[in-house]
Structure 1
Amino acid sequence: LIMLMSSPLPGAISHVILCFSLVYLLTGCCESELTENSEIKTPTHEFLVSWSGWLHERNGSSATTHGLPAAGEGALGGRLEANSSGKEWTATRRLPQALIIGVKKGGTRALLEFLRLHPDIRALGSEPHFFDRHYARGLAWYRSMMPKALDGQIVMEKTPRYFVTVETPERVHSMSQDVKLIVVVRDPVTRAISDYTQIISKTPNIPPFESLVFKNHTTGQIDSLWSPLWIGLYAQHLERWLAWFPRTQIHLVSGERLISDPAGELGKVQDFLGLQRIVTDKHFYFNKTKGFPCLKKPEGSSKPHCLGKTKGRTHATIDPEVMQRLRDFYKPHNQRFYQMVGQDFGWQ
């Protein structure tokens, strides 16, 4: 530059050359700086996991009816761009390795929400009903509904109707012989009342519970085919699953203990899935108003997280004599279920 400025060239030409030289130097510096910054690596799996295991945003996906990318997938929402070294951090859609298959009104939504706290679980927020309603759409469609996950993360979904649908065990088995199955069970009498309570919230003009329970009021014969009662015949439904899957691939969660000791039940589920026990008692508090545990406020949030208003409804008041008849009806079914699973749930 000094040489150019002291040269005998006319002043105008000197100024032009000087300007071009400065532009060249400046753009060269900037280019060098950008090249260095392009080496910033994609955050590692460990870095993405916050100190307490709270990473609800990563597991906040929900399905769309057209198989479009699920909402709320954050930084892991797809196949990440290759960095400057040519390496690729992949998060892809794949078929689930675990399913919560039942039962309705047993606590499946609570279990799903609690499990979604785990950084190694990627769970679909909505119920896809693939194996009972949309099977004809095929596995490619089913895969498209799943949230994207990194290697090592477990993909899962929950559809409580699977447990009682006759065709479902064989269909699930044809997808994967190794899939892990989770069933949340609850006292079938209180489950039936909870089911009925949900029904009347949507169709308030249906007959009273007591009149729907019996086939014949005179003889007192129970209508075991009425859906709220039929779902509670757990041994009958489980028998179909055991025809296709070994008992070791089916984990039972107590709906009652999921309320009284959520951390204890979650610990067993994490063990069953082969995961580190990250979701612990530090994540929960008991909400006296709702009558069940809620999640303590996550990082970056000023509010605790409880399940919606459709959960924890006040149950309909049922005639005590009808309750006792139902308990007598379920007693042999419960005993058979206990023998099948090798566990006594203590339902009266």
Structure 2
Amino acid sequence: MATVKVTTFISQFSSLKMIVFALMASFILAVLVHLSMRDFHAVSTAAQKWSPGYGKGLPKVPFLQKSGKLGKGVELGLKRPSGRRQRLPTCLIIGFANHGARVLREILSIHPGIVAADREVKYFTENYQRGQTWYRQQMPLSLLSQTTVEETQNYILSSQALTRIFRFNANLKMIAVVQDPVNRLLSTYIRQTSSQAPNQPTFKEWCGYIHNTPKILQLINYEAPIRDVYSHFPTKNLLVLSKEDVEFRPMQTLHAVEKFLGLRIGLSDSEFVHNPVTGGNCFDTHGPRYPQIKAMLTPGTVLDLDSGCLVNAGNMPSVPGVRADPDFFQKVVGVIQKSNVRFFHLVGKTFDWTTNYKLALQRQSS
């Protein structure tokens, strides 16, 4: 009889234990569901506020400020959603300085599948000793499906940086932005001599009176830095764009980058309009998404808010010293054209810089 009572007690106790365990499991599951729904609600609410919807079938992506600092999300009133964290970049904009790399980075940040660090991190040149943990902390929050981009314009000029990048990720995608060498030469002349007025040297004096001096050859030479990249990486890892295309034809540029990175179309062609004054494409200021687009581009420096055009798109500098000696300038252009033939052959593509040469000659001789 005693044995039966003990057995009954043990059975009842086991049943009680199972009930308690089931209640605890249900409570834990309810808490997890609540937290997941809360994060989902935060993301959904933010998505409804921005809702870019670029391209058919693309998910709505919440707007988070393009910054590697976690505190920025709090300023926007958003909790850090599940799955969004800082990740190391899988694409680098590696050069060149004053060639529109920053403009390209800001344009790419519009794409819902791309997030970009909001400044030059200079990890592979000046901050390599800080380590990859520090590097990751400089990146913006991203989803696993998004591409993280970092832009530092002098990576391409450092063979050591390229070696470090290869060791970091041999499959990394890289983008280099080049500029019409005529424009680059004249812009450099202006930057270096404008502060010397009224004793500013003429363009011919600045060049050393010779049309093929080392100074000129170095400024117009894209071939050597690009060859250095190819010595580290396969050619398929590098996309070469022109500054003129980035600023003058942003729609085509964005589509080229999407294809290069394997992304779906993130900005429809209807968001752009042809500008008869500049002859290029500008954002449609009357488009429904223009308020969100202009909020992500730096006004005055990158975007002209009134026209929707990118600042300085296609502009060729006017240099008084060139007008004084058009024959010398024509000789410089001849050297540049020969250099361009070798560069175009190297990268397997050409840029429409001939038009810029003609415009430059007309402006400088007028």
Same fold? TM cut 0.5: yes
Call closer, same or farther: CA 1:279–1:136 in 2, change over 3 Å. Answer: same
**Superposed displacement of residue 343, structure 1:** 1.2
The answer to whether 1:338 aligns with 2:338 is: no
CA distance in 2, matches of 1:104, 1:209: 24
CA distance in 2, matches of 1:90, 1:38: 13
CA distance in 2, matches of 1:130, 1:40: 38
Task: Render the CA deviation track for 1:11-46: whole Å, top value 9, x for unaligned.
Answer: xxxxxxxxxxxxxxxxxxxxxxx9997663533879
CA distance in 2, matches of 1:93, 1:76: 19
Q: Secondary structure at the match of 1:151?
A: coil
Describe how 1:118-129 pairs up with structure 2 within 5 A: 118-129=111-122
- In structure 2, runs of 5+ residues without a counterpart are 1-30, 302-310, 355-366
CA distance in 2, matches of 1:279, 1:303: 10
**Superposed displacement of residue 235, structure 1:** 0.6
Percent sequence identity over aligned pairs: 26
Describe how 1:68-83 pairs up with structure 2 within 5 A: 68-69=69-70, 71=72, 79-80=80-81
CA distance in 1, matches of 2:119, 2:74: 14
TM-score (norm 1): 0.71
Call closer, same or farther: CA 1:125–1:134 in 2, change over 3 Å. Answer: same
Amino acid in the other structure paired with 1:60 = Q
Amino acid in the other structure paired with 1:265 = T
Are the equivalent residues in 2 in contact too, given 1:123–1:155 (CA < 8 A)?
yes
Task: Render the CA deviation track for 1:197-239: whole Å, top value 9, x for unaligned.
Answer: 45567x465844615642x32xx1534347xx63431111101
Per the alignment, residue 187 of structure 1 pairs with 180
Q: Which of 150, 153, 156 is matched with 1:157 structurally?
A: 150
Task: Render the CA deviation track for 1:93-122: whole Å, top value 9, x for unaligned.
Answer: 121100111222322222222211111101
Per the alignment, residue 257 of structure 2 pairs with 269
Describe how 1:313-328 pairs up with structure 2 within 5 A: 315-317=317-319, 318-319=321-322, 320-328=326-334
More helix by share: 2
The answer to whether 1:58 aligns with 2:51 is: no
When the two chains are superposed, the root-mean-square deviation of aligned CA atoms in Å is 3.8
Q: Secondary structure at the match of 1:183?
A: strand
Q: Which of 75, 91, 95 is matched with 1:98 structurally?
A: 91
- In structure 1, runs of 5+ residues without a counterpart are 1-33, 81-88
CA distance in 2, matches of 1:56, 1:321: 55
TM-score (norm 2): 0.68
Task: Render the CA deviation track for 1:137-183: whole Å, top value 9, x for unaligned.
Answer: 33222221111111111000112222222322112111111110111
CA distance in 1, matches of 2:341, 2:260: 24
The answer to whether 1:301 aligns with 2:291 is: yes
CA distance in 2, matches of 1:133, 1:77: 33
Are the equivalent residues in 2 in contact too, given 1:97–1:154 (CA < 8 A)?
yes
CA distance in 2, matches of 1:70, 1:208: 49
CA distance in 1, matches of 2:243, 2:284: 20
Call closer, same or farther: CA 1:337–1:36 in 2, change over 3 Å. Answer: closer
232-241 vs 276-285, greater mean Cα deviation: 276-285
Call closer, same or farther: CA 1:100–1:254 in 2, change over 3 Å. Answer: same
Task: Render the CA deviation track for 1:180-199: whole Å, top value 9, x for unaligned.
Answer: 01112221111232344455
**Superposed displacement of residue 76, structure 1:** 11
CA distance in 1, matches of 2:193, 2:71: 32
Are the equivalent residues in 1 in contact too, given 2:91–2:149 (CA < 8 A)?
yes
